[in-house]
Structure 1
């Protein structure tokens, strides 16, 4: 049964659904990304921005305002910036996070204004075109009906049509044979909202393929870790829980029920840095087969680092392990028989972490990983104190930096550091490790 208005709990539920859906389709959106530069990060940027919005909303208060604040602070890339302005428009158009058909129209119209103001030279055939089409469709639908689900259905339909038309508006999309990645992300968000309002599963094209593909689910969890383990262990295998403390951990699991895993995680605590990847199909054979599935490998003698790298999907190299040309080795392979494996050169643990985190199966994987590692500036503080770490962070920062990653044995408040430094800070606790700081 459809509802005719969105309240604070419904808006919060939409944000959770959107985080899960954007994370699930991150690789798909990344592959569409050819404009303004083909850097294959639109899906990652939109997922990250929405995660930041949800994290702020999880703290309490007015949901719409919190989503706006979190997204603006955590916005990454052009697509993340546009998303943040859409959420800012929602917050400015609502009272107490209450959205009806009229408010939806007002929000979309204001979003167009804010995005036009934020982008110096808007380009047709991008997310801007899809957003404008959605706003116009919503306003036209409102002249015929006040029923929210009907207005939203029309809005989604017209946004999808506008997305399909983007290649005809932008030559680079037409040559690549793709639609605009940011526009596709916006359509996903609108479809998630429609699904929430109509109290149904998302429409075809948005559904999670849990029954067909096994997924690798990775996220950072804050809450009761023992309860989470008990809840999700029966839902899959390859469960790895790398604890940063008694209440925080990186979680890794292979599962056919990704939606249920994510739902239980959000229900038991706070979830950030959520990432999903489709795993290669499993083959059942009468005789053992040689496993030639591509692997991302890294070498470390530190047990805690090994847990961290494993939690984000890497295989820990052990002496004598046979490598194949399909494998990717992250590091400097001194004395290692590569067996033709490809190499992503890194010179620090924080670079390795960044490279592994962006891995997505495909021909461009090594290039993307190498570029991420090479673009990161890395340093170590003069000593293991908060003051020295903060000073080192300030020395590393330059205008335009978006994210800082700190690997450290100290317990740092990442949120406080983010406010002090003006960039998103990810602090990963690794017992016994000398602090490394990377900026990208």
Structure 2
């Protein structure tokens, strides 16, 4: 396939979780079944990803045990900024993006934590700001789970406060002039004095800007509220789309809303998930996928699918379709579960729905390196994505397979870099350094 990029550059991030994104990954030969609680595997991921010159590492987070783990491990255990700080020590260039909830945190703490990561990594940090839902998680913090409307109203104020705090230091505020005795110009470090519906925060932040100004702001999800929040404040977006038409529609919405908010249409880097199973040949990749399917715990997979669809797992049988009496509920399913709901409405069996991705809703690439590069190139040259967030089926060997075999194909086609062009995450993504000299009252404008 030939490439016609029109000056665009492909961006690739990697989203490692525990042993891998396939439910059978923890049982795969050579995989560490305790990977979710051990730092060593994460550090190897960081070094392999940087060897491939990937843009960034993206870590999701759920602050609690959000599902039973009797036949499938917790997807995450260690807190993301702790992992990313350790990664910063063993890498030099790759971006470090961590998730933190706006529902169950305080803005000042998050602003300080990610500013610290940004300084430690010399301008490589990103914050994925998400709302958090689910009774198991909410019960760790509050008696009653907030409504979706309340969560997103709080998120808008939360994000605006963090941005104001990140802008509370002018770039030249810190003098550290030993000769004159002037350490900092306090006229260039200003409180934000925010008083809103959910928070009162005086500020300023306690740390200066980094080499990239402040962390890249991510948002993740598929809801309309996420699209609006991304269009208003986001600089990168991790989402789930299943085909090119869906991706185009999603991107068009975000871009049109960004313009309506007075931002450039290309202000946001659109990086949906891509689940990868790489083989030396197509047959090897298919056999790998089949072997992983056979290792999957079916009970946990059925429970997970039922939770996505809002059904009782006791009402589902693995080798039968979702009962017709229950399918009427599936028309209202939204978010990541939409593809699974559509397959259920088509009459596919529960087993087939699970094998085709369950409620994840991400594109699945199974094949040899040329075939996976073909898929990436097709989507990228269609202009519907800026790149992908890689989700290897098995982390320990799936990511090296992509880096060592797919990345060279992308390079030969002129799609992907051979060397980093800069040191900060903003440079990797082609994003401008934000103006922190003049604080805009974002929190008061929302």
Fold in common (TM above 0.5): no
The structure, 1 or 2, with the larger RCO (C-alpha pairs under 8 Å, 6+ apart) is 2
In terms of fraction of residues, the more helix-rich structure is 1
